[in-house]
Amino acid sequence: MHHELCYVAIGDSLTVGVGAPEGRGFANKYHALLEQNLNKNIHFTNAGISGATSQDVLELITLDSFMQQELKEADIITITVGGNDLLRAAELYFTDQEIKHMIDSLKKFKKNMREIVSLIKKFKDNRLDNCMINMTNLYNPKPQMLDAQFVVNRFNNMIQRFHKGNIRVANAYQAYIGYEEQYLFSDQVHPNSKGYDVLANAFHHLGYEPLK
């Protein structure tokens, strides 16, 4: 093994690993895959916050100087965000079927995501040539509900726009289709241990360029 790389995971309860035994979330599993595939020791920082929206993640990296330094030095960054934004938007939309709630939530989510990515670039002096920034789209925990499908699709179309260069989007949505019962925890929202394996593999399938 050669010089140590740094992996920082930011985001919501998916990054925390809610729904799986401690240490069995996707970030831990992806960390193991990184070390295995890059053949390097990799320092790992998990900065996940249960219940975090895109606004919460943005505030974390805007206000926390330790987090800013971690992101500056990171060779690999994963971002899981959007699920809680989606849940809040869906609750409002399902209450009165007002599409305005969805549009407002999407606009805010897009603005926050742009700022999150922009800040990470700023911390790295706009040099992304030698790092991986991986985010994921959203799986649909309620595929039997047409309205849920509509909401998830809108958010995923937004997330996909960030897929460019060394910023990549893992396809959790596709990986979960038809396997929701097997991959979800008893709360029917978060993944179980098997679901986190699938999520880690979705990140793995993005490859390891430019680090490998």
d(CA 199, CA 181): 15
Share of the chain above pLDDT 70, in %: 99
The pair phi, psi for residue 188, each rounded to 5°, is: 60, 20
Asked whether residue 69 is assigned to any structural domain, the reply reads: yes
Asked if residue 78 belongs to a domain, the reply is: yes
Question: pLDDT exceeding 90 applies to what percent of the chain?
Answer: 81
pLDDT in tens, 130-165: 999 999 999 999 888 878 888 899 999 999 999 999
pLDDT given at position 1: 38
- Residue 112: predicted pLDDT: 98
The two tokens of residue 184 are: 């979800």
Residue 36: C-alpha distances to residues 23, 30, 178, 206 (Å):
17, 10, 29, 15
Dihedral (C-alpha) 125, 126, 132, 134: value to the nearest 10 degrees?
Answer: 110
Instruction: Label residue 90 by pLDDT band (50, 70, 90).
Output: confident
Count of structural domains within the chain? 1
- pLDDT confidence tier of residue 76, bands split at 50, 70 and 90: very high
Quick check: is 140 in a domain?
yes
Asked if residue 86 belongs to a domain, the reply is yes
Mean per-residue pLDDT over the chain, rounded: 94
- Start-end of H helices in 42-98: 54-63, 65-73, 83-96
Domain contains 63? yes
pLDDT at 132: 97
Residue 136 lies in a domain: yes
| Residue 146 or 19, more confident | 19
**Which pLDDT belongs to residue 18?**
96
Q: What CATH number is attached to the domain comprising 150?
A: 3.40.50.1110
- Look up the domain containing 26 and give its range: 2-204
In a domain, 188, yes or no: yes
Would you state the pLDDT for residue 3?
58
- Provide the pLDDT confidence category of residue 2 given band limits of 50, 70 and 90: very low
Residue 77 lies in a domain: yes
